[in-house]
């Protein structure tokens, strides 16, 4: 029980560690050391003849803040604040975000606004590195308020705009994308964003979330190996304990097996000696019963029961069964190839099922299990179940 409790505690600690480690998170805002590297850049509609402006105020130290103003100088004004991924040397490289599935952040806007979150992904079959305008850009909309709006987005369920498929001649059925070549995160305006108004946005607590199933696999392996090892250890210990218990029980049965010695005792009551000798000599006779003894010995039933109760503390039936079952245990140990049915018949039982029932009640295991334990005990001297050196069987 102590070992089981310790094992369960170890399993609980392993489960806590592995499950905790399986939940991944990477904080991009505020910037966290060792996380995904990025730098802030802006995009404006000047190339389209527009005059809209965008300015980064805080590039991620505490929050990602920017202000902008959208003008009507062009039919399709556009500005965006971007988190462009880079390596440790400051080179622009796509980030592998395949371990992450969602992103959460708090969006605060003045005035309240509706913005676009986009995630351009490098696709070598469509664009060259750095041609961000040609990258497929799965996107979605989110709302933000002056008091701050918590936002949670599923990075695996964004939608690539329909116009991109038309412009780059890509089959619209290919809506799937991978997260191992993400070029940047983009916060842009949409057609609902206010025009000719100074606007300010603050993105805070920007964190990627994901799962690493390798820790769950490791937990399953730990649980399987630990449970298997405990089961093997427990079963082996249980077998040793059961073998020792049977050895002790058989030793305690010495008076019932060494029935020939009963006639050598200096009984003053010759009738008592005759009764014990007759039962000891004929216990294997399936026809043996109280009537047989009374007929052959000449003693009445009360006398026989009185002697058995006084000398052995048993009834007639209990004593006969004790002799038979103890002899059956000896034969099971010494004759590994002898069928159990033959052993049952040899000790006086005509019904094998009844023999099995009585044997299990006596030894807490079936005859077959007893034989297996006895076989194992032969290789383990300290649990030699009634072996050759045991006086239990020397006298029998």
Three-state SS annotation for 205-252: EEEEEEECHHHHHHHHHHHHHHHHHHHHHHHHHHHHHHHHHHHHHHHH
> What pTM did the predictor assign?
0.59
Out of 25-34, 220-229, 235-244, 280-289, give the one with best mean pLDDT.
220-229
Burial bucket for residue 64 (CB in 10 Å: 0-12, 13-18, 19+): buried
Q: Does an H or E element contain 169, and which? A: none
Structure tokens at 179: 């997260």
Report the pLDDT value the prediction gives residue 120, as an integer from 0 to 100.
96
CA distances from 185 to 82, 231, 261, 367 (A): 6, 52, 97, 73
CA distances from 297 to 255, 269, 290, 301, 343 (A): 22, 13, 11, 11, 28
Report the pLDDT value the prediction gives residue 330, as an integer from 0 to 100.
86
Structure tokens at 182: 């993400």
Query: What 3-state class would DSSP assign to 107?
Result: strand
Report the pLDDT value the prediction gives residue 269, as an integer from 0 to 100.
66
Name the one residue in this structure whose structure tokens are 């780059």: 168
| Digit-coded pLDDT (tens) for 257-311 | 544 444 444 445 677 878 888 888 888 888 888 888 888 888 888 888 888 888 7
Burial bucket for residue 347 (CB in 10 Å: 0-12, 13-18, 19+): buried
Choose among 323, 345, 325: nearest CA to 277.
Answer: 323
Mean pLDDT of the chain: 85
In angstroms, the CA 336 to CA 324 distance is: 18
b/e sequence 78-111, b meaning 16+ C-beta within 10 Å: bbbbbbbbbeeeeebbbbebeebbebebbbbbbe
Report the pLDDT value the prediction gives residue 384, as an integer from 0 to 100.
46
The beta-strand segments (E) located in 270-383 are none
In angstroms, the CA 248 to CA 310 distance is: 24
CA distances from 351 to 138, 329, 355, 356 (A): 79, 17, 6, 9
> Which neighbouring-strand residues pair with 102?
154, 209
pLDDT over 60 at 137, yes or no: yes
Report the pLDDT value the prediction gives residue 77, as an integer from 0 to 100.
93
In angstroms, the CA 287 to CA 279 distance is: 12
In angstroms, the CA 60 to CA 204 distance is: 8
Report the pLDDT value the prediction gives residue 335, as an integer from 0 to 100.
84
Q: Higher pLDDT residue, 72 or 239?
A: 72
Q: Which domains does the chain have, with CATH numbers?
A: 36-211 (2.60.120.430), 253-394 (1.10.10.60)
Report the pLDDT value the prediction gives residue 389, as an integer from 0 to 100.
38
pLDDT over 80 at 60, yes or no: no
pLDDT over 70 at 29, yes or no: yes
């Amino acid at each position: 029980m102590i070992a089981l409790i310790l094992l369960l505690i170890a399993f609980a600690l392993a489960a806590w560690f592995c499950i905790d480690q399986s939940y991944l998170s990477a904080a991009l805002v505020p910037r966290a050391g060792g996380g995904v590297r990025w730098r802030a850049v802006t995009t404006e509609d000047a190339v389209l003849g527009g005059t809209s402006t965008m300015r980064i105020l805080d590039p991620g130290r505490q929050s990602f803040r920017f202000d902008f103003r959208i003008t009507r100088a062009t039919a399709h004004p556009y500005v965006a604040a971007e988190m462009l991924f880079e390596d440790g040397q400051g080179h622009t490289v796509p980030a592998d975000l395949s371990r992450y599935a969602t992103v959460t952040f708090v969006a605060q806007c003045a005035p309240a606004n509706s913005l676009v979150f986009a995630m351009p992904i490098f696709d070598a079959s469509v664009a060259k590195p750095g041609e961000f305008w040609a990258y497929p850009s799965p996107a979605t909309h989110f709302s933000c308020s002056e008091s701050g709006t918590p936002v949670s987005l599923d990075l695996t369920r964004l939608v690539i705009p329909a116009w991109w498929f038309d412009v780059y001649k890509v089959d619209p059925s290919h809506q799937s994308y991978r997260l191992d070549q993400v070029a940047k995160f983009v916060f842009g305006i949409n057609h609902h964003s206010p025009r000719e108004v100074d606007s300010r946005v603050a993105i805070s607590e920007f964190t990627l979330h994901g799962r690493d199933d390798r820790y769950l696999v490791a937990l399953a392996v730990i649980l399987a190996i630990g449970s298997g090892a405990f089961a093997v250890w427990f079963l082996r210990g249980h077998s040793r304990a059961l073998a020792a218990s049977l050895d002790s029980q058989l030793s305690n049965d010495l008076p019932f097996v060494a029935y020939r010695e009963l006639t050598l005792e200096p009984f003053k009551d010759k009738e008592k000696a005759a009764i014990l000798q007759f039962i000891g000599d004929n216990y294997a006779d399936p026809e043996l019963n109280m009537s047989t003894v009374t007929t052959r010995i000449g003693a009445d039933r009360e006398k026989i029961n009185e002697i058995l109760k006084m000398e052995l503390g048993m009834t007639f039936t209990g004593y006969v069964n004790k002799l038979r079952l103890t002899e059956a245990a000896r034969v099971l140990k010494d004759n590994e190839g002898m069928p159990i049915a033959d052993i049952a018949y040899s000790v006086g039982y005509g019904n094998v099922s009844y023999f099995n029932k009585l044997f299990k009640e006596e030894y807490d295991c079936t005859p077959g299990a007893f034989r297996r334990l006895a076989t194992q005990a032969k290789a383990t001297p300290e649990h030699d179940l009634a072996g050759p050196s045991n006086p239990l069987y020397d006298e029998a």
